[in-house]
Chain A
Amino acid sequence: MTVVERVPTDKVVVEGMTGDAAIAHALKQCDIDVLAAYPITPQTIIVEDFQKFVANGEVKTRVIPVESEHSAMSACVGASAVGARVATATASAGLALMWEILYCAASMRMPIVLAVANRALSAPINIHNDWSDSYGARDSGFIQIYCQSCQEAYDTVIMAFKIAEDHDVLLPVMVCIDGFILSHNVERVEMLPTEAVQQFLGVRKPAIALDPDNPVTMGPLALTDYYFEFKEQQDRAMARVPEVFERVESEFEKMTGRRYGRFETYRVEDADIIIFTHSTPGGTAKAVVDALRERGEKVGVVRLRMFRPFPAEALREVLRNAKAVAVFEKCRSFGAPSNPLALEVRTALYDLDERPLVTDFVIGLGGRDVPPSTIVEGVEKTKEYLKAGRAPLYETLGVRK
């Protein structure tokens, strides 16, 4: 374990920056060896800003301006296999094009950090935010962390490398921010001194690398006799993530005083209804809860951060005493009885003898605004369903029907 010390406040640089810029700065300070990326809105600023650092000699990173996202992730796997610290960034169609290689990166145990500015998938083509892109990749084997603020995005990228590169984990991490809502929104960000970040992370020490002195074969064929064991090991690595995450966050807290957890709870102690969401709607939900609390309503928020691995057990303890959990999610899983986030919540609660009612509201597809009134509407509906004793498996809010 590295010895970290609290960074004195006079060493912290405060700047107004967008989510994309915050991520670009974090990547720079993490001293990544290789960045392979392809432009796509609303992620592009990350790569543009980073290329500016390169052009000005501020980093020694080799940037590979690949011809597609498929090649971006492929180049990341190649670079990571040599032992380099590697990152890329994408969104929407770009993530979809990477799909095949996401699974390879995870199964080949490459600790790549992938920043995703969440954006709707075509068609119709749309550049705005929802979570269909990274939700679709939820079974790829990537760790997934969703951020609510630019500060959180900056901090999470730094921690992501330390989690990914830990030999108990060795899995790639997706750090997700809401496209435009966060990627292009200027917020106050406290940046650490680069030396502190580098001391926190250290240099990557690969478990196995493509090394001419010690030749290995990576990415072989494994059939009925061994494939399953690869998957078993991958699954166990995923199961070790919470412990490593906790360790990394504790060290980060020592250095910065900040910690986020796998999820954030807000005024949930005595809450009858808990709003369950993540990313920027988490902020809106907290404002709604403050307003409703003033009217004497017992409501709270759980803002999820880590979607993979899903913290089912810890969440069960937080949610079990509520009368209802109202899930708000920016994705429709077509043909499914409910949607990705609510499916996880329902699974987490299923084993309880007495379960809260779970409502599932699909919101904000294609960047449709999610104002406080949308959250209030969901809470009001949840109250009605509580009275009736049952609720539909899911419904859409904020759309012409």
Chain B
Amino acid sequence: MSLITSSIGQGLLWAILGVALFLTFRILDFPDMTVEGTFPLGAAVTVTAITNGASPMLATLYGFLAGAAGGLITGLLYTKGKIPILLAGILVMTGSLSVNLRIMGGSNVSLIGKTTFFSANFFQTLPKYFDSIIIGGITIITITILVILFLETNLGQAFIVTGDNKKMARSQGINTDNMTILGLTLSNGLVGLCGALISQSNGYADANMGIGIIVVALASIIIGEVVFGELTLNQRLVAVALGSIIYRFVLLLVLQLGFSTNDLNLISAIILAFSMMLPNLRNALHLNDILRKGLSINDK
């Protein structure tokens, strides 16, 4: 039972990362490495703010803003500085590692004894992991609704078409540079927010907590797509959150099999690689044909 509640709680919290990366990876159509820097940045800023007496709400907001600032820099390097997006992301990611150490004044900071979202008295009366489910649930539902509403606006449509066909977007008078910067800022703001909540859930921030984060985010996106198939854009955002829960569940199962947490990055990478190959494997091995034939009465 605790395995399930823990998966759901962690899955909901980490789903924010998936939705954030969806904005760049699927809509703008490029992999944004910045997230590996803005995730620990959001955590570092939030944890430092809390240890300095800020309220969890304000500290989390700072985490969002710090992440957004990182995304803004990547956006400017890419659009105005003409640095390829992959490299622009890696530059900001690398730079922010030093910034994080400066902010925290060390490689990790603990939140023991501090007031966080998760330390509220109300949560102590609930079974284990329900704090993550409630906080993660409220946050991801709010974010998903806001993103869906945003994508329905004229600005949101201009953002989508920028990723879909840049040349056509420009010929319709859309400033694609601004849309790209907007997407990166918003996405990394959400990544910073996710880092802020995860650090409060874990009770500490660590300078290395961003390593492999992009794989985690991609895994929830890809698993959501593989499991739920053809969906509308709005449904796909919900699928990302569900994909995130499934991914957490698989991870916990693997840990139950006796692997250590040190193996998690390798396992994450294998899960993602397998999920990405699955649609091709299905075709190559004719899995669908085999299934269909096995069920049909009359063979041709």
A binds B: no
Residues of B within 8 A of A (CB): none
